């Protein structure tokens, strides 16, 4: 997203900047906030935005991003916690925009870090677990988590698409993924 206004709007909804690609001059005034064990980069970008700083993406591609099996996005527990911390960063951003300050000092990161992810019925946790198991082609686990989600939140939601997709088989799903990545470039 090279347009500054569009980037600002997109960041208010979710992270649109790859952590390894940011470059800026820090005059010693801006830091990652200590309690953000995960998503500290996203919280940092939102802090800059709420302080009136400008964030701009350039159109030139300067890095090639790859995801390795050791990356957070391939570790289920870390992936879910990353998402929950990102949501907290976004909540704090909206608090600063609306009230001029946020409730960071009252935030206890252990509430996220110590979540029982295996038995959680939290909507965000279940959705993240569905996406994670689907991405790994573990369709049996995906269906089990989908059924748990349905019991808690009903059928009329995005999870139904994941559930139905698991019946297509790995080869069909991988073919669709490949076609999607080809059309995206």
Do 16 and 43 lie in one domain? The reply is: yes
- Specify the pLDDT at position 73: 56
pLDDT value of position 72: 54
Residue 139 lies inside a defined structural domain of this protein: yes
pLDDT in tens, 166-175: 999 889 888 8
- Residue 66 belongs to some domain of the structure: no
| 129 lies in the same domain as 111 | no
Residues 101 and 81 in one domain: yes
Residues 75, 124 within the same domain: no
Q: How many independent structural domains does the chain possess?
A: 2
131-140 long-range contacts, Cβ below 8 Å, gap at least 24? 131/162, 132/76, 132/79, 132/80, 133/76, 134/162, 134/165, 134/166, 136/74, 137/170, 137/173, 137/174, 139/166, 139/170, 140/166
The tens digit of pLDDT for each residue in 32-70 reads 999 999 999 999 999 999 999 888 888 887 777 676 666
Q: Could you list the residue range(s) of the whole structural domain that residue 78 is in?
A: 1-59+71-115
| Contact of 86 with 128, CB cutoff 8 Å | no
Tell me: the pLDDT tens digits for 67-117?
666 665 567 788 899 999 999 999 999 999 999 999 999 999 999 999 999
Are residues 1 and 43 located together in one domain of the fold?
yes
Q: What is the pTM of this model?
A: 0.80
Q: Note whether 101 and 95 are within 8 A (CB).
A: yes
> Do residues 88 and 155 both lie within one domain?
no
Task: Please tell me whether residues 168 and 105 are part of one structural domain.
Answer: no
pLDDT tens, position by position, 4-28: 889 889 888 988 887 777 777 778 7
Q: Could you tell me if 81 and 162 lie in one domain?
A: no
Same domain, 111 and 157: no
């Amino acid at each position: 997203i090279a347009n500054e206004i569009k980037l600002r709007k997109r960041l208010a909804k979710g992270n649109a900047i790859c952590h390894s690609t940011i470059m800026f001059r820090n005059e010693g005034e801006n830091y990652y906030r200590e309690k953000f064990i995960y998503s500290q980069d996203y919280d940092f970008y939102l802090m800059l935005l709420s302080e009136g700083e400008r964030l701009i993406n350039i159109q030139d591609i300067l890095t090639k991003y790859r995801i390795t099996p050791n990356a957070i996005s391939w570790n289920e527990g870390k992936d879910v916690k990353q998402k929950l911390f990102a949501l907290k960063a976004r909540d704090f951003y909206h608090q600063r925009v609306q009230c001029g300050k946020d409730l960071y000092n009252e935030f206890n990161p252990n509430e996220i870090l110590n979540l029982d992810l295996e038995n959680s019925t939290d909507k965000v946790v279940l959705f993240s677990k569905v996406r994670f198991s689907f991405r790994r082609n573990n369709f049996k686990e995906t269906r089990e988590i989908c059924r748990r989600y349905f019991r808690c939140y009903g059928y009329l939601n995005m999870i139904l698409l994941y559930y139905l997709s698991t019946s297509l088989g790995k080869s069909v799903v991988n073919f669709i993924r490949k076609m999607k990545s080809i059309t995206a470039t």
